[in-house]
Chain A
């Protein structure tokens, strides 16, 4: 494999990366995809390396994806979840980091409900840190797998139109994607209930805020639906799931406003019948399963670029 250097200690977010960094990760992922299609899906690239998946929030999907990626690269993967660790006994993040240090990990993959938790860990440990989602801030591996999926289906990234619909205020997926799209020259339209839209959307250059999902969907090449967190109903951010589905959900009629060849994406897990109908989620335009598959390849690329290049 051709060796290009990923000149960052950690992957904490899309912020701080260059277009060249994004392309390097995507190109590396493409080469790893081929491994996933072999009958023996394993390469020795990270043999002897220890990767810790430190998950403070339950996320079977992302954790499993990182775990498979680590195993396909022959790394030793250890899962630590908040439920089984001492986190709930009042141990601070700094304590946890000190304990992890004793395991001499090479890479730590962190999911945390708080913005900046991976940054805090990265500042206190020599191991490389991958942000697998911090609060509503960033989820760079999800963004990269989205980019890979889009590139595969559209053959390019530049000059596309993407519609993002859903809870933008609380979405780390949306933040990472809006950052990446701005860097790549993708035209982004977003739509959310005003209660789920940050007050200062101007911080995301090139993002156009639409009043209705119809407006956002028009002429879109890519439709990205965000998961509605059901507990947000208690925060009075929307009156009911039914009303949300009716006003903002993606159904066949709405999808018809997008381009004929538009693809439909969702970071999962889906609330079928709320932000997306089953008909659309399972329909011919849906690339949701491709996203899952690309997730493993992208995470292999990330782990490889962070951990496999030292030699």
Chain B
């Protein structure tokens, strides 16, 4: 079957300034036609009634960790891709900190090969330096040729600024961005939670906002000096927002992303995972105090930081939401807070949380699609993505914005369960995920 008709959905396609109820015909893996009252002969293909649903260009999560190769017990490319499909993502970019590190065309090729059996598009991100060791440049040209869409040392920074400069220059020649995980290693130290009132009250080693901001400032200065783009991963502080906004103002080519957890939780979650009184919890199944699903890097910050991140997302200073999906096995997370690995998963919780931002009036539906599809497609130079114009790839996310449901970690497709959002009552769910004209998830 190579044709499909989506009938009666609200097509939200900001790149083409479209937001209206239309039928949409897919043919041979591409968008074929949009219009009112399209018809499809049942013999020629399937017609799906999507009245009441939003039909958007496929969502792309540009920051995930799929753990394969090397830690398949946490996640595989396939399980991660299945989680993505269920979460409404048609494409996911995966970071290089696998075992072995994705620092060669061989590993990039392996990921591409595994991804060929996955339900969604998987875009490898190559390491900036060999082994993420921060000493020698990884063969970015060869990795790009093998399919790497960007480069990142995610999980750490490139501490050597001269090397960082060379990396940016070299990536620039390949038309690939570098995604900067910004933290000053000395200021970060042995920090466990945000350096603020919670750390002070409970004696945790703190991770100061300054650790992130100092490194972002360095990246912005490099980008400005070199007149090259940088992408700042998972911005978490109000100071970082101010630095990025000011740099953008003076013409620096900077883009930035924020995670759902930094938009919905602050450091109070460290001592009470259920501190939010405006959230309806269907279940409080997790340990409330010192739950390690509140531990990530960068850490959950302060309410004022959350407010600044939300405002920046609304204003477009931050143009992408990415989940930083970081799977860890339950036994790895159920240890002393200080010993637990950083990170939470997000592929199956991002969509309803983002719809909540629309419900709260922070984002229009069009702005939401910009952040989730258009911008990541642009930043990663993904041709044929982020738009529903005829001729574009038939990658679509179809959302039922009205359905009420409860986030259930136990039901995740992901191999891991480490989410702080288990038990949240949410509204809006993936109805269909369509990749290359094929339904890869249907609710």
* A189, CB-defined interface residue at 8 Å: no
Count of B residues near A, CB < 8 Å?
Answer: 22
Tell me the bound Cα distance from A204 to B334 in angstroms: 30
Tell me which residues across on chain B come within 8 A of A202, comparing CB atoms: 197
Residues 322 to 372 of chain B near chain A (Cβ within 8 Å): 331, 334-339
Is B290 located at the chain interface by the 8 A CB criterion?
yes
Contacts of A199 in B (CB 8 A): 195-196, 200, 206, 208
B residues 193-212 touching A (CB-CB < 8 Å): 195-197, 199-204, 206, 208
Answer yes or no: A78 CB below 8 A from chain B CBs: no
Considering the complex, give the chain B residue whose CB is closest to the CB of A175.
B203
Establish whether residues A119 and B290, one from each chain, have CB atoms under 8 Å apart when the complex forms.
yes
Task: Chain A residues near B336: list those with CB within 8 A.
Answer: 93, 112, 114, 116-117, 120
A198 touches which of B200, B289, B337, B339 (Cβ 8 Å)? B200
User: In the complex, what distance in Å separates the CA atom of A180 from the CA atom of B325?
Assistant: 41
In the complex, chain A residues whose CB is within 8 Å of the CB of B334: 92, 94, 120
Instruction: Kindly state whether residue A256 has any CB partner on chain B within 8 Å.
Output: no
Q: Which residues of B contact A169 (CB under 8 A)?
A: 203
A-B contacts at CB below 8 angstroms, number: 72
Is B38 an interface residue when CB atoms closer than 8 A count as contact? no
Q: Looking at chain B's contact residues, is the secondary structure mostly helix, strand, loop, or mixed?
A: loop
Q: What separation, in Å, do the CA atoms of A123 and B290 have in the docked complex?
A: 11
Q: Is the CB of B289 within 8 A of A119?
A: yes
Per-residue interface assignment for chain A, residues 104 to 137, with 1 indicating a CB less than 8 Å from any chain B CB and 0 otherwise: 0000000011111101100100000000000111
Cross-chain contact A200 with B339 (CB below 8 angstroms):
no
For B193, the closest partner residue in chain A by CB is A115
Task: Tell yes or no: A161 within 8 A of B by CB.
Answer: no
Is residue A103 within 8 Å, beta carbon to beta carbon, of the partner chain?
A: no
A289 at the interface (CB under 8 A from B): no
- Min distance, Cβ B105 to any Cβ of chain A, angstroms: 36
Q: Which of B202, B335, B337, B339 has the most CB of A within 10 A?
A: B202
CB contact under 8 A between A115 and B200, given known A92-B331, A120-B290, A123-B287: no
Q: Please, how many angstroms separate the alpha-carbon atoms of A38 and B118 in the complex?
A: 76
Task: Kindly provide the distance from the CB of A192 to the nearest chain B CB, expressed in whole angstroms.
Answer: 13
Q: Does A170 contact B (CB under 8 A)?
A: yes
Instruction: Given the known inter-chain contacts A114-B338, A120-B336, please indicate yes or no for A170 contacting B203, CB distance below 8 A.
Output: yes
Q: By the criterion CB–CB under 8 Å, are B338 and A115 in contact?
A: yes
Interface string of A76-93 (1 = CB under 8 A from B): 000000000000000011
- CB neighbours (8 Å) of A116 from chain B are 202, 289-290, 336-337
| 14 more A-B residue pairs beyond the given contacts A115-B203, A116-B290, A120-B287, with a C-beta to C-beta distance below 8 A | A93-B335, A93-B336, A94-B334, A94-B335, A113-B338, A114-B337, A115-B204, A116-B336, A120-B334, A136-B203, A170-B203, A199-B208, A200-B201, A203-B197
